[in-house]
Chain A
Amino acid sequence: MSATLRWWRTPLAGTLLLAGLLLIGVLAFQAFDPAGSGPILTRFLISVVVVVGIQIFMGTSGIISFGHVGFMAIGAYVVAILITPPTIKATSLDEAPAFLRDVSPDFIVALLIAFLVTAVVAAVVGVALVRLTGAAAAIATYGLLVIVQNLLSNSGTITLAPQTFYGIPALTTMWWAFAAAVAAILIALLFRYSRSGIALEAARADELAARTSGVDVQRARLLAWTLSAAIVGVGGGLYAAFIQALSPALFGLSVTIVYLTMLIFGGSTVSGAVVGAAGITVITQMLDGIQGSVDLGGLTVEAAHITTIVLALIILLVMMFLPGGLLGRWELHEWPGRLRLRRRDRTEAAS
């Protein structure tokens, strides 16, 4: 009984474990490369926020979403519009409503607003989208991604599209991103062990059985979708204040695929999201070591193309040979318990 009363202990322990591992990794990399590590680590930690956010929906429900980078875009533009200094906005956003030009909230307030705005947008479209599973969900969420890009591109008065949105202050430090990553992990693990998280786990195994035993699957799915989108929105906000310039083209299918690869490569759990983000970041960093372009028998291949193709090949190979990802279905902190259980099974079988 006490286990149910203090159900939050497990997610808390899991968060501490993952946060500890992240911290060790970050400090080790900083010690290894004190000069160049900052931007790489910040970018990586933002990826952790985004991928853990996506995991809240995809990992628990088992439904593919190609739409989450759309929420990242929304969060990015919300934060960009809010935190860009009014002096710059006076010229860049001269056709936008006056209050958008004049506001200048704290970064944390801007991030919270991004959280709320993406949550509201996600909840509205989610009412329809959570009715879909499988292939239909994948297609409809891809449609959502395209539509968000389309809307942003056609809202030049506030997004400056087709020009680049400029003048965003560089507020996202590495430790901001670290704090956000740990918060995202905590929220994701709390959700996984919550009533809704368990309901989705049940529905994933057998939706009909879950429904007939009184689980409101769509409600749980809508909650997961909204929470997940909001965290990805915050990730987008951090991203905006990191790269300092935005255009809708940054938030398309190819970026989506990088984040989905991270999640699937790791294994679709929260730990998997973190490990996958780390693994793919290491691989992309190594590929980025290739400078400029490579000459292949008269054919000039740019470094960026090589990165793209290698990432796509990784997805293909993982799908073919490692469909469960690196870590499989279990969270890192669940491993000791699982090993204990397995050992007990074995001793019982032996006796």
Chain B
Amino acid sequence: MGHILSVENVTVEYHGVPAVRSVSMEVAEGEFVSIVGANGAGKSSLLHAIMGLVPAAAGSVTFLGEDVTARSTESRVRRGLALCPEGRRIFGGLTVAENLRLGGAHCSRATLEERLAQVHELFPVLKEKASAGGTLLSGGQQQQLAIARALMSGPRLLLLDEPSQGLDPQTVATVFESISLLRERGYTILLVDQNVSRALSYAQRAYVVAGGRVIKQGPTSELAASEIEDAYLGTASVL
């Protein structure tokens, strides 16, 4: 099985302070991979480095066989990487329809309409509220819009950063239903979540991150949630 994404020894620094230290990981076509870890473990920084939102101080990111380390964020998106960011970051000044169309703005008109239809089928509420302002949606609807917006670019790999953040348990359940639907449709997904047992139950493989490093990795069947939580609660002893 060929890897579509491989991250090699990537380091991310903020003002000289490392947030990600020499991390390597891969994702294969059709896989569902989770990254788990405590707050501040470096999960989001790693996703940002994959997307080119922060520069990698060292290491490389290869996507679909091409080294994209020096590429801009937008060109990575155009190559098939998409990130649904933490906190959703819906454009409040744009309507739901505009939020979606922007996601597919670099595609042909026909492709755009086709994807819009797919997304509307996945999330019917977005069709109903097409002309509403982005921030007038409920939290759960905003999360659906954020995911749908990321899908509009037709990603080969979808990165989801904390999709459950700030949502009540019932809404979280709905959101994860949509995510498993995406998995069934064959999307390759890299999920970041603080909730270890949930992240493991959806994924085939997982990486456990603490202190900016990968401290454990493997098929989820071999990783017990309790053991992982112990591992990153006791970060100091592991390091």
Tell me if chains A and B make direct contact, with any CB pair below 8 A. no
By a beta-carbon cutoff of 8 Å, the part of chain B in contact with chain A is none
